[in-house]
Amino acid sequence: MPTKTFFNLPGEKRQNLIDAALREFSRASLADASIANIIKDACIPRGSFYQYFEDKADLFFYILEEHSARNREQMMSLAIKHQGDLFTSSAEFFESSLHRFIHDEQGANREFARNIFLNMNYKIEYKLILDVKNPTTRERIREFYRNYMGVIDTSGLNIHSEEELLHLIKILRAILIQNFIQFFAGEADEQEVLHNFRLELELLKRGLYTSRSHET
Amino acid sequence: MPTKTFFNLPGEKRQNLIDAALREFSRASLADASIANIIKDACIPRGSFYQYFEDKADLFFYILEEHSARNREQMMSLAIKHQGDLFTSSAEFFESSLHRFIHDEQGANREFARNIFLNMNYKIEYKLILDVKNPTTRERIREFYRNYMGVIDTSGLNIHSEEELLHLIKILRAILIQNFIQFFAGEADEQEVLHNFRLELELLKRGLYTSRSHET
DNA sequence: AATTATATGTGACACGGTGTCATGTGTCAA
DNA sequence: TTGACACATGACACCGTGTCACATATAATT
Distance A48 CA to D26 C1' (A): 18
Of A120, A168, A207, the CB nearest to B158: A207
Structure confidence at residue B213 (pLDDT) = 44
Q: Is B176 exposed, middle or buried (0-12, 13-18, 19+ CB in 10 A)?
A: buried
* Res B212 pLDDT > 80: no
Structure confidence at residue A117 (pLDDT) = 95
* Res B138 pLDDT > 90: no
Structure confidence at residue A115 (pLDDT) = 95
| Displacement of CA B39 from its chain's centroid (Å) | 26
| Residue from A120, A121, A108 nearest A26 by CA | A108
**Residue B139's pLDDT band (cuts 50, 70, 90):** confident
| Residue from A206, A35, A155 nearest B206 by CA | A206
Query: What letter does residue A152 receive in the DSSP assignment?
Result: S
Distance A28 CA to C9 C1' (A): 28
Of A118, A122, A208, the CB nearest to B159: A208
pTM of the model: 0.92
The string of pLDDT tens digits covering residues B82-129 is: 999 999 999 999 999 999 999 988 878 999 999 999 998 987 876 555
The contacts found for B49-57 with CB under 8 angstroms, 24 or more apart, are: B51/B3, B51/B5, B51/B6, B52/B2, B52/B3, B52/B5, B52/B6, B52/B9, B52/B17, B53/B2, B53/B3, B53/B6, B56/B30, B57/B30
Amino acid in position B47: G
Instruction: Determine the nucleotide nearest to B45 by Cα–C1' distance.
Output: D9
| Displacement of CA B98 from its chain's centroid (Å) | 12
H-type alpha helices, A82-134: 86-102, 108-118, 122-127
* Res A171 pLDDT > 80: yes
Domain chopping of chain B, boundaries? 65-215
Residues contacting B35, CB < 8 A, separation 6+: B46, B49, B55, B56
The string of pLDDT tens digits covering residues A3-13 is: 999 999 999 99
Structure confidence at residue B87 (pLDDT) = 96
3-state DSSP assignment of residue A11: helix
The whole-number average pLDDT for the span A82-89 is 96
The whole-number average pLDDT for the span B173-201 is 95
DSSP line for B135-196: HHHHHHHHHHHHHHHHHS--TTB---SHHHHHHHHHHHHHHHHHHHHHHHTTSS-HHHHHHH
Which chain B residues are Cβ-neighbours of A178 within 8 angstroms?
Answer: 170, 174
| Residue from A104, A118, A110, A123 nearest A29 by CA | A118
The whole-number average pLDDT for the span A14-41 is 97
H-type alpha helices, chain A: 4-8, 11-27, 35-42, 46-52, 56-81, 86-102, 108-118, 122-127, 135-151, 162-184, 190-206
The whole-number average pLDDT for the span A97-125 is 90
Structure confidence at residue B142 (pLDDT) = 86
The contacts found for A47-50 with CB under 8 angstroms, 24 or more apart, are: none
Which chain A residues are Cβ-neighbours of B178 within 8 angstroms?
Answer: 170, 174
pLDDT > 90 fraction of chain B, expressed in percent and rounded: 80
Are A185 and B122 spatial neighbours (Cβ–Cβ below 8 Å)?
A: yes
* Res B135 pLDDT > 80: no
pLDDT > 70 fraction of chain B, expressed in percent and rounded: 93
User: How far is A82 from B93, CA to CA, in rounded Å?
Assistant: 38
Structure confidence at residue B192 (pLDDT) = 97
Amino acid in position A187: E
pLDDT > 70 fraction of chain A, expressed in percent and rounded: 93
Task: Name the residue with higher pLDDT: A107 or A210.
Answer: A107
Structure confidence at residue B122 (pLDDT) = 87
Structure confidence at residue A213 (pLDDT) = 44
Hey, are the CB atoms on B185 and A122 less than 8 Å from each other? Answer: yes
Task: Name the residue with higher pLDDT: A124 or A193.
Answer: A193
Give the end-to-end CA distance of chain A in Å, rounded to a whole number: 47
Structure confidence at residue A37 (pLDDT) = 98
The whole-number average pLDDT for the span A132-143 is 77
User: How far is A134 from B194, CA to CA, in rounded Å?
Assistant: 28
Using the CB atom, is residue A40 less than 7 Å from strand D? no
Structure confidence at residue A127 (pLDDT) = 59
Structure confidence at residue B98 (pLDDT) = 96
* Res B131 pLDDT > 60: no
- Chain D positions under 7 Å from a protein CB? 6-12, 15-21
**Residue A214's pLDDT band (cuts 50, 70, 90):** very low
Are A168 and A86 spatial neighbours (Cβ–Cβ below 8 Å)?
A: yes
Structure confidence at residue A129 (pLDDT) = 54
Q: Which of A71-85, A140-154, B72-86, B120-134 bottoms out in mean pLDDT, i.e. has the lowest? A: B120-134
Q: Is B187 exposed, middle or buried (0-12, 13-18, 19+ CB in 10 A)?
A: middle
Across the A:B interface, residue pairs with CB atoms under 8 Å apart total: 119
